[in-house]
């Protein structure tokens, strides 16, 4: 649901964690042949091992470029049994969900069923109001590029204690939350700024975007993603779980500390009701599907040229990052620019990026949320040593 969430969760034994930290990386090349640290991905293999050395229980990664497919795993997928991670693992992708949501809204615009210049209130009358929020002044475009100023509901302290910290999580992990409830949490705060006057990442924006899709189509946003993206691209590892609490196999366990500072014991947080993330971050996928999705998106298979141009029109976040419509651009240290999104949710940290031409993609997952540097893995894959 990120930016990046480092708070998240039955307790794993310290000795098992130590074993995970010591586990060697395994890399596989095209055709599944074990290749170790050879070829263009040697720096990536080292970065994957380094993540496990930093404390991540396990990593799974898949890269695709002109030479073919390369996969790598490190650490373990289960701290109790020490079963290794698999290249085929499915995992919660958190805010990578946002790119799927934005894609569907842009498809609806291309079909003439809505305009990104429509106000939020024209689709969801009265929902965005109170404490200075005014949905009559906020456009759908401002939801998608995070310039709406709407408060981020996951930043609410009570919400954080209830769903992200240990005591609350174990009591409330199976709660079902309606998207309107999440919006009401945000409306209890003042906006971050006037619409269009700044940039701030807000999960509330994408909860609202999911509700707009439902209003425009008469179907839940997840059904539209399945009809418009998952089925046409044959994304067999990708799902919108709704209130289902498990992760379909093949998959690993997910681990979190459930503390604000990442200290304390490790908890198994695999099972939870993802309605707390809704259309801001509830989806499940695997690395193969994520690479296929972003490659298809950036090469025009999902959107007409006009809508793809809108999606890649970015607002500057900092010197190296821009945010478009559910899509982030990052200029790496070697001058390469990649496009994609990251996602964090309890026990799961994921990233998926590709070059603008779709020819070089990488997607990976850490099954822990308190350690490791995904940015280092991306740098290694595209910039090497």
215: which residues sit within 8 A by CB, 6+ positions away? 123, 124
Question: How many separate helices (H) and strands (E) can be counted in the chain?
Answer: 14, 15
- CA atoms of 229 and 221, how far apart (whole Å): 12
b/e 161-183 (16+ beta carbons within 10 angstroms → b): ebbbbbebbeebbeeebebeebb
- Over the Cα atoms of the chain, what is R_g? 20
- CA atoms of 327 and 228, how far apart (whole Å): 18
Residue 95 annotated as catalytic: yes
Q: Which two tokens stand for residue 41?
A: 């991905």
CA dihedral 316, 320, 326, 327 (to 10 degrees): 130
> Nearest Cα to 338, choosing from 304, 385, 285, 374?
374
- CA atoms of 150 and 130, how far apart (whole Å): 11
The answer to whether the CB of 258 falls within 8 A of the CB of 347 is: no
Placement of tokens 């409830």 in the chain: 181
- Helix (H) / strand (E) containing 343: strand 337-345
- CA atoms of 167 and 164, how far apart (whole Å): 9
95: which residues sit within 8 A by CB, 6+ positions away? 1, 2, 3, 203, 206, 280, 281, 341, 342, 343, 344
Q: State the DSSP code for 180.
A: H
Q: Which two tokens stand for residue 219?
A: 């179907």
The answer to whether the CB of 348 falls within 8 A of the CB of 94 is: yes
Q: Which two tokens stand for residue 88?
A: 């085929």
Query: Is residue 173 helix, strand or coil?
Result: coil
Of the listed 18, 86, 95, 129, which one is catalytic?
95
- Residues facing residue 94 across a β-bridge: none
Please list the active-site residues: 95
């Amino acid at each position: 649901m990120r930016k990046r969430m480092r708070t998240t969760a039955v307790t794993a034994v310290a000795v098992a964690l130590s074993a995970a930290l010591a586990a060697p990386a395994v890399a596989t090349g095209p055709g599944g042949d074990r290749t170790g640290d050879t070829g263009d991905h040697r720096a990536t293999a080292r970065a994957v091992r380094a993540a496990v050395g930093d404390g991540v229980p396990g990593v799974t990664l898949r890269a695709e470029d002109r030479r073919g497919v390369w996969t790598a795993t490190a650490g373990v997928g289960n701290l109790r049994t020490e079963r290794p991670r698999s290249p085929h693992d499915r995992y919660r992708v958190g805010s990578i969900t946002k790119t799927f949501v934005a894609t569907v809204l842009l498809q609806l615009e291309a079909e003439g069923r809505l305009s990104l210049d429509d106000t939020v209130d024209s689709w969801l009358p009265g929902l965005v109001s109170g404490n200075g929020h005014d949905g009559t002044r906020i456009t759908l475009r401002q939801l998608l590029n995070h310039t709406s100023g709407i408060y981020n509901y996951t930043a609410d302290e009570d919400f954080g204690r209830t769903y992200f910290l240990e005591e609350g999580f174990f009591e409330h992990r199976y709660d079902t939350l309606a998207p309107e409830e999440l919006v009401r949490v945000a409306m209890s705060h003042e906006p971050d700024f006037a619409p269009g006057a700044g940039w701030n990442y807000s999960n509330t924006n994408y909860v609202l975007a999911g509700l707009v899709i439902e209003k425009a189509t008469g179907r839940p946003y997840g059904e539209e993603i399945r009809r418009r993206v998952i089925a046409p691209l044959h994304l067999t590892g990708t799902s919108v779980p709704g209130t289902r609490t498990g992760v379909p196999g093949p998959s690993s366990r997910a681990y979190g500390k459930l503390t604000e500072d990442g200290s304390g014991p490790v908890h198994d947080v695999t099972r939870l009701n993802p309605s707390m993330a809704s259309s801001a971050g509830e989806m499940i996928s695997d690395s193969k599907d994520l690479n296929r999705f972003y490659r298809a998106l950036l090469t025009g298979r999902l959107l007409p040229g006009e809508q793809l141009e809108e999606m890649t029109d970015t607002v500057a976040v900092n010197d190296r990052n821009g945010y478009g419509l559910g899509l982030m651009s990052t200029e790496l240290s070697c001058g390469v620019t990649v496009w994609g999104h990251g996602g964090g949710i309890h026990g799961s940290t994921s990233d998926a990026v590709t070059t603008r031409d779709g020819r070089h993609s990488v997607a990976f997952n850490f099954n822990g949320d308190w350690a490791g540097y995904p940015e280092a893995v991306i740098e290694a894959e595209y910039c090497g040593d």
